[in-house]
Amino acid sequence: MIDKIVASVADALADVQDGSTILMGGFGGAGMPSELIDGLIEQGAKDLVIVNNNAGNGETGLAALLKTGHVRKIICSFPRQADSHIFDGLYRAGKLELELVPQGNLAERIRAAGAGIGGFFTPTGYGTDLAKGKETREINGRMYVLESPIHGDVALVKAEKGDRWGNLTYRKAARNFGPIMASAAKCAIAQVYETVELGALDPENIVTPGIFVKRVVRVGRAAAQLKVAA
Residue 141 found at the interface with a second copy (CB under 8 A) = no
User: What distance in Å separates the CA atoms of residue 91 and residue 137, rounded to the nearest whole number?
Assistant: 33
CB of 44 to other proteins, least distance (A): 28
The residue among 94 and 118 lying less far from a second copy, judged by its C-beta, is: 118
Site for other proteins (CB under 8 A): which residue of 183, 189, 215, 218? 183
With CB under 5 to 8 Å by kind, the binding choice for 7 among a second copy, other proteins, none is none
User: Which residues are registered as beta bridge partners of 27?
Assistant: 30
- Provide the residue type at 52 as one letter: N
x-marked contacts with a second copy along 208-227 as a string, rule CB under 8 A: --------------------
Nearest to 65 by CA among 154, 179, 162: 154
x-marked contacts with other proteins along 139-178 as a string, rule CB under 8 A: ----x-------------------xxx-x--xxxxxxxxx
Segment 184-203, which members bind a second copy (CB under 8 A)? 202-203
**Cβ atoms within 10 Å, residue 55:** 27
Question: DSSP 3-state assignment of 140?
Answer: coil
The residue among 23 and 49 lying less far from other proteins, judged by its C-beta, is: 23
Site for a second copy (CB under 8 A): which residue of 142, 186, 199, 230? 142
Q: Report the alpha-carbon angle 171-176-177, nearest 5.
A: 125
User: What distance in Å separates the CA atoms of residue 157 and residue 216, rounded to the nearest whole number?
Assistant: 10
Segment 106-125, which members bind a second copy (CB under 8 A)? 108, 112, 115-123
Residue 223, φ and ψ in degrees, nearest 5: -55, -45
The residue among 109 and 218 lying less far from other proteins, judged by its C-beta, is: 109
* Radius of gyration of the chain measured on its C-alpha atoms: 18
